[in-house]
Chain A
């Protein structure tokens, strides 16, 4: 079964540093997403991406965050200057189409620890 992959599985960085989290969505999917989950809290939507553009973003997704699809397979989330409160699991997801009928396939996540 095709799956979403994410690298690295765990990233430790110092406050103020830039990090890039990488994802390879399922190959025939057109919609891509990032979510995060702070330890012990809910899964929170960050951003959705389609046709090389952001289609939706949440209040969490401020100017510190950016997304990119640099080539035909990778989808990245960049945090420009990390803060302690950015420590969380970051999940990438993808779907064939948008809308409630199309399930989103989640990757295994990247655990980001900011010290």
Chain B
């Protein structure tokens, strides 16, 4: 499984765009990049997934450069309710367990 590295914490203000970068230098050819969000005392929740280039949904965008050794989760115009821990996961067809790292604790301030 590819190891992921992301910042332990980030602060932002309401209305700003937040970009959280994850590095995964050992990503394998069949690995996908998936981001989950976890609010305090709740289970993780899927946000977005991609393989290469850019993926966008109603919640976020995911940017993946050509070498796929990193990825950036972009949250447009964050609000207080986006305060959570964001996890970058990298995995392929090797089983179906999710391996969570420490995540990035995002604090959105008014």
- The residues of A with any CB-CB pair to B shorter than 8 Å are 4, 31, 33, 35, 42-45, 48, 55-56, 58, 89, 91, 93, 95, 98-109, 111
A24 to chain B, nearest CB (A): 14
Give chain B residues whose Cβ lies under 8 Å from the Cβ of A100.
31-32, 34, 49, 91-93
Question: CA separation between A9 and B99, bound complex, in Å?
Answer: 24
- Number of B residues near A (Cβ < 8 Å) is 24
Chain B residues near A103: list those with CB within 8 A.
34, 46, 49
If A100-B34, A103-B49, A104-B46 touch, does A89 touch B41 (CB 8 Å cutoff)?
Answer: yes
Q: Which of A45, A55, A102 contacts B99 (CB 8 A)?
A: A45
- Of listed A33, A93, A100, residue having the most chain B CB within 10 A: A100
The answer to whether A56 and B97 touch across the interface, beta carbons within 8 angstroms, is yes
Given A45-B99, A100-B49, A101-B49, are A106 and B43 neighbors across the interface (CB < 8 Å)? yes
CB of B95 within 8 Å of the partner chain? yes
B15 at the interface (CB under 8 A from A): no
